[in-house]
Amino acid sequence: MRFTEEQRRFAAAVRDFCDSECKTLQQRDALTDGGTLANSPDLLAKLAELGWLGVSIPEAYGGAGAGMVEECLFLEQTSRGLAPITAYSTGLTAAQTYLRYGTKAQKEEILGGLCRGRLEAIALSEPEAGSDLGSARLSAVADGDGFVINGQKTWTSAAHVADHLLLLARTGTGRTKHEGLTLLIVPTDAQGLEIRPIETMEAHTVNDIFFTDVRVSSVNVVGEVGRAWWHLLRGLSVERLIIAAMAVGAAQRSLDDLLAYVKQREQFGRTIGSFQAVRHRVSDLATEIAFCRSFVYEVAEGIDAGEEQQLAREGSMAKLKCTEVAKHAALEAMQLMGGYGYAREYGMEGQVRKALAPPIYGGTNEIQREIISKSLGL
């Protein structure tokens, strides 16, 4: 697509901000306590002050009232800039469901908080229900004017920094496993809720969550009781586009850093970028990234135009392709940078670690292939 002049200026402004605030490893370490935090409250506060958080959220709820194209521009540029605000995308994913099915009060609290730099989380996966979310068993039993929740969620991104969980709970049964599931808002400081970190290759991002007789009011239901599966579908499709936009930014950063390296690194009396074998591999990366970017914004433009008939397929295609390209770009960059790619000082090792998880979360890429194949009648 062709961006408007306003969209180009917005993307450039976000890029310049990231280059100013978190371009170097030293800057990022200062924002993340030496790389141990995945999110910087200070940086989120600055972005909120600029009015860039929730750029796609309606003005009535504190956002800028722009579209998904602008949101993808923000996600791409902050990802390219290595801005430590990874939980923002989780909150933005939750926002998609609140926008469609939340009450006015829920929207004002959740969406307004997101635009002010607050964070939100989504608790879907369980130890025996990951790709097969319809098998979720965490129970929410009706009790008076509310529900009592017991069970466990796992791999919950951003729960430790979020104000609320958008929780998938089983409130009943039906003819299929997808019936009887309900979405509930649970404050993360609720009595009986315990959040435990899961140690991974990255800074603290994901958690196990344990619910012991956690009580919430019936006003905490999002949408209709028993209809959670259908409430989630559109939001999950948009989530995949969100992940894809971030993957494009990550891939571009890997390419940018690789280009800077091969243009100055000399071996055998010449820069290594002058060797055909290197030039062609870099050319392939640039081409893949350009095609990914084009598709991401085509899908985003369709959402803004209300053309969502193929969103499930296109969201899965975007997530599948862009995350694979981002992983390939980081690994290629590490290989071509040799030992320097493995050194923390140059940043590429961090980009490799970050590139490994996106093909898994948000629905594994194997699941994305299943969604795509079913949409083709297979």
Residue 327, pLDDT score:
98
Among residues 168, 298, 192, 208, the alpha carbon closest in space to that of 245 is found at: 298
pLDDT tens for 278-304 read 999 999 999 999 999 999 999 999 999
> What's the token pair of residue 356?
């490994």
**Mean pLDDT for the stretch of residues 75-103:** 97
pLDDT tens for 219-230 read 999 999 999 999
333 burial level (CB within 10 Å; 0-12, 13-18, 19+): buried
- CA 26, distance to chain mean position in Å, is 24
How far is the C-alpha of 320 from the C-alpha of 306, rounded, in Å? 23
Please compute Rg for the chain using Cα positions.
Answer: 21
Contact between residue 58 and residue 65 where contact means Cβ atoms under 8 Å apart: yes
* Element spanning 235, H or E: helix 228-264
pLDDT tens for 10-41 read 999 999 999 999 999 999 999 999 999 999 99
Residue 120, pLDDT score:
98
Residue 241, pLDDT score:
98
pLDDT tens for 65-77 read 999 999 999 999 9
Residue 105, pLDDT score:
97
> What's the token pair of residue 152?
């466990």
77 burial level (CB within 10 Å; 0-12, 13-18, 19+): buried
**Mean pLDDT for the stretch of residues 187-195:** 98
Collapsed DSSP state (helix, strand, coil) of residue 368: helix
- DSSP string computed for 294-317: HHHHHHHHHHHTT--TTHHHHHHH
pLDDT tens for 106-120 read 999 999 999 999 999
How confident is the prediction for the chain on average, in pLDDT? Answer: 96
**Residue type, position 321, single letter:** K
Collapsed DSSP state (helix, strand, coil) of residue 145: coil
Residue 130, pLDDT score:
87
323 burial level (CB within 10 Å; 0-12, 13-18, 19+): buried
Contact between residue 84 and residue 8 where contact means Cβ atoms under 8 Å apart: no
**Residue type, position 270, single letter:** R
